[in-house]
A and B are shown apart, each in its own frame.
Chain A
Amino acid sequence: MSWVPAEQVIAAVGNQRQVLAAEEARVAGFVQYHATERAKLEAERAQAIHDLGTAVLPRLDHASIAAAAQAVGLVGLPNENVPAQLETRRAWLASRLNAILHDPRYAQRELLRHPRTGSLTTAIAQNEEHRGPFAAIIVMCEQHPRFEGLWGSGFGTPEHSASWWRYSYWQDRSAADELVTKFQGKTSFAEVRDEYARAKETVLVFDGELRNLRAQIAEGEALDREYAALYEEHRTLDARGLEHTRSRIVQHLLGIDAAAVSQRLRSSPATSGLLMLFLRASGIAAKVSYLDGIQQANLGEIQKDIALQRERLDGVETRTRRRWAPMALDKFQKLAEDRRPRYEKRWQRFGKTYNTVYVYDRYDRGRYYEDFLWWDLFTRGRYDGSYLPEVHHYYQSHPGYAFDPDWKTRAAEQRAAESDTDDAGPNDAGPNDAGDVESEAAAAAAFADSSSDDGDTSGDTTTTDAS
């Protein structure tokens, strides 16, 4: 059997550690890339949701609400009588605003709380000024390390008894003398005690008054804030009501199976216009969710593998350094094996899936299907996405579902059936649309490993539209 010397083993371990470090850096880089792209998609999603909401409910009147409710299947919405609710709220706001306006704490806010001339502000300043000297007496006493003991033991009072043969007694006397010298005109600690007691009582009274004044200011300021908030709500009530109702409708739409909503919207000429907007909002939401899932699953797998490899290398290095013994050649070959092609292959596979989902923007193709899952539309049914919870759940809950990637035939059939409608659109004719190619190139760059030896990265990450 051939053997490899320990020096060579340690060197091989070092090389493998470098490979792992490069992989870790690549993972960190991708996490950053995903965060950036995700932020862009979030903005896109917000815009899509806004556009859908505006189209579904252009105004907040009874007719528009009824039409929107009918379109999206929110049958209970008209009965809620949102316009009447808004009017009730408007009346309450007006009444509350009026009440605040007449509340003396608000009406006389300048008189009461002006920073320099307000009566409450002035009273606080005066109380603080008068409290100051008494507080200073308390501080002067309490700052002395033995004052607390002297005060507690009744030092300076007739009741105080202490053993004069104890060192602590003389310490107390000395401390008391020090304190007395701090008070002009005082000759005994008993006088200092009285002064301190008076100061404590006086400060207590001032503190109570200051608390009361500050509470009055706080109440007034709370009223100021309430008025400002309610005034703003009153001023923008219609817009808020409209936005809130739109949001409810959109959330309802996005919360239902996309295929079911798609079918519903397609079924009537009155709502078919909403279909594209819905598909866009729903598709982008699915895209964000899928990309998160793809990233988490794949990077998690890579990180796990890196940790395992590192543990193995640690073990080999520790054992070799301990005995400085050579390693059997077959074992060494396994240790020194170049793992980079394997990692590269994994990145290519991951990148392909990520890019395929990332670049997809033909959300309108959902209209050709009665039953569909965004995952299958994005990937044309070519990639297994069952490791993503939403994909897995869909397959589980739709046992008879099968995806047909031939959307062109479906489009033609649909056009024939709806001979008076031609909604295929000029850009819907074929693969590799210009927009797709551009964004795909940007996404592919994130996966490209400049240190890769085999140089086929870019070719492998390009998505080819099989249709």
Chain B
Amino acid sequence: MTEAEGCALLLARFTEAGFTVASNFHFHEDDVEVDLDGWDAAARVGFEYITQEAGDARQFDPETLARFEARMEKGELYVLLVDEHDAVTADALDGAARAFLAEVAKRAPAGGAK
């Protein structure tokens, strides 16, 4: 599926889950500066569909990705990362989004990250 189709599906799932998602959000905190496909600034939850075409691979280089994931490790934010190389299908993406959101709810019962 295309990035646009994937992002539309994720937006629908995140919205259903109660998040107020802004599309194409420019995220810049400390030493991390990336563009996210969807981001709820209040809940600090979002999603990013990493594609070559959109130049995401350049933004999410290994170092940036490591810093970004370190923050998720600490529970400061939760962003579902979808790599286009992972043979994404609508069903699988839908299942992954639901599972991710359930995990977020488990880790941050108040509805978002710390």
Binding site for B on A (CB under 8 A): 163-168, 170-171, 173-174
Contacts and interface: CB of A to CB of B under 8 A. Distances in A.
A170 B86 CA distance: 11
B86 A163 contact: no
A164 B78 CA distance: 10
A110 B14 CA distance: 74
B96 A164 contact: no
B105 interface: no
B69 interface: yes
B69 A170 contact: no
B22 interface: no
Contacts of B78: 165
Nearest to B45: A165
List of 7 A-B pairs having minimum Cβ-Cβ separation, nearest first: A170-B96, A167-B82, A170-B99, A168-B86, A167-B96, A166-B81, A165-B72
Given A165-B72, A165-B78, A173 B83 contact: no
27 contacts: A163-B69, A163-B72, A163-B81, A164-B103, A165-B72, A165-B78, A165-B100, A166-B80, A166-B81, A166-B83, A167-B81, A167-B83, A167-B86, A167-B88, A167-B93, A167-B96, A170-B92, A170-B95, A170-B96, A170-B99, A171-B86, A171-B92, A171-B96, A173-B99, A174-B92, A174-B95, A174-B96
Interface string B75-103: 00011111100101000110110011001
Contacts of B100: 164-165, 170
Contacts of A167: 80-83, 86, 88, 92-93, 96
A174 to B, nearest CB: 6
Nearest to B96: A170
Interface of B: 69, 72, 78-83, 86, 88, 92-93, 95-96, 99-100, 103
A60 to B, nearest CB: 77
A170 B92 CA distance: 8
Contacts of B92: 167, 170-171, 174
Given A170-B95, A170-B99, A173-B99, 9 more contacts: A163-B72, A163-B81, A165-B69, A165-B72, A165-B79, A166-B83, A167-B82, A171-B86, A174-B96
Main secondary structure of the interface of A (DSSP, over half): helix
Nearest to A169: B96
A168 B82 CA distance: 7
Among A165, A168, A170, A173, chain B packs the most CB atoms within 10 A around the CB of A165
Nearest to A164: B103
Contacts of B88: 167
Contacts of A166: 80-83
A77 B93 CA distance: 88
Nearest to A145: B87
A165 B88 CA distance: 15
Nearest to A170: B96
Nearest to B80: A165
Nearest to A166: B81
Contacts of A170: 92, 95-96, 99-100
Contacts of B79: 165
Contacts of B80: 165-167
B65 to A, nearest CB: 10
B81 to A, nearest CB: 5
Nearest to B99: A170
B19 to A, nearest CB: 15
A212 to B, nearest CB: 43
Among A166, A167, A174, chain B packs the most CB atoms within 10 A around the CB of A167
Contacts of A164: 100, 103
A167 B78 CA distance: 13
A394 B85 CA distance: 76
A164 to B, nearest CB: 6
A62 to B, nearest CB: 84
A173 to B, nearest CB: 7
